[in-house]
Structure 1
Amino acid sequence: MINFFKKKKQKENKIASRPFDEMDEVPSHIAIIMDGNGRWAQKKFLPRIAGHKEGMNTVKKITRRSSQIGVNVLTLYAFSTENWRRPDPEVNFLMQLPVDFFDTFVPELIKENIKVQVIGFTDQLPLHTKKAVTKAIEDTKNNTGMILNFALNYGSRSEMLEATKKIAKLVKDNTLKLEEIDEAIFESQLMTASLGDNQEVDYLIRTSGEERISNFLLWQNAYSEFYFTKELWPDFNEQSLENAIAVYQKRHRRFGGL
């Protein structure tokens, strides 16, 4: 009897520790809340901006690996509508990051057939940030591989309010009837509409140990799987991503059914 339970336990542990399998299902749309840059820097007695700079290198690593394993959309929460409340020097640095990132990484994105898209209220960004974003989108618009989708000056509640206003205007202008409004109509007015069949998130990852979604893709995450890790974003690497996807591959998504 003891041997039976021992063998059963060993079998369960083996299943639980099953590694990432490239031949198994990979999430079509992965969304990541890249948290912990500041804490990573503080642990090393460095200024917070050093953590953001290192986090940019992590973005490059995770983008490459995601594309290699067949992810269709990688959405990264780069700057929220609430992040403007941070100290001016940090905000200014964060607004410069897209400039530096795209300046060094776009040639590789073109080579790897990765397409850049951005969601958020980009009209409110500083001019130099807006120019860098617009250029990256233009330079990669013909790429047909994975979409690297940045949420920049993004907030999901504001996104849904704007979508509601657009639909209300369509009804007011007699372009749309009230009874015609359904989920598909609502989704067509969201910032993620251009993602088409990949609009809904399959897997939400958040680093740093915090377990909340912080106003990020509230509609799109309705049936996504969640994964929280204590790793700080600058420490999150290709192996970390594979470990996360290995957990996803063990789950059974039911979407409210059996």
Structure 2
Amino acid sequence: MEFIMQNLAGKVAFVTGGSRGIGAAIAKRLAREGAKVAFSYVSTPDRARDVAGEIEAAGGVALAIKADNRKAQEIETAINEVAAKFGKIDILVNNAGIIEMGPVGELSIEQFDRTVDVNVRAVFVATKAVLAHMPDGGRIITTGSNLAHQVPWPGLSLYALSKSALIGFTRGAARDLGPRKITVNVVHPGPTETDMNPAEGDIADAARSVMAIPDYSDANDTAGLVAWLAGPEAKVVTGSEFTVDSGMNA
């Protein structure tokens, strides 16, 4: 891990769900660009230590905090802890998410509540909580999904519902926070090489068959876009969506 860019020098970032997959890639990329990075995790303490250790070994500053995105108080406490340690939070990345799959008729109310709590409610809670600690000109970036716009297979209705909700929230929050020059955007990854969705998994060939470029994304592809949105060149980009899906939705 090399520190080759310093677009975010002096900034403080908080990434939810930053111990693995896309969240870990985002945490490490923001650190590469000079930000002090805090991130939350729930059930992967070893991976959280690895991510923090990699950032610190390269000369960066990292803080891993255990916080369950289903519990509003834990999100709020984590954000307050980051702000108390670093004095502010310039960048919030709402990345934590879960997927519950199944036909509409077979999904339970418990699955609905769990999905909405993590994928939607927690985004609202974190965004609301961070505003007391975010200077004018801050950045709020949320990880959505290309399935918010197009659902090519059955069994994804609940996940698509939760990710679609983030679009409306992003646009509304961008209007609310514009006077403070705080930008609010959503990034929609498509199939990405992670533990949850390996490039050689059971559905990988089906996914590649509907891509314009038949390759899974690397988590760093999304992380690079998030870093740009967090940086100075994106200061007037707000209320917008960005899709990183190899042209799956083209």
Using CA pairs under 8 Å that are at least 6 residues apart, name the structure with larger relative contact order, 1 or 2.
1
Larger Rg: 1
Higher-helix-fraction structure = 1
- Does the pair score TM above 0.5? no
TM-score when normalising by structure 1:
0.38
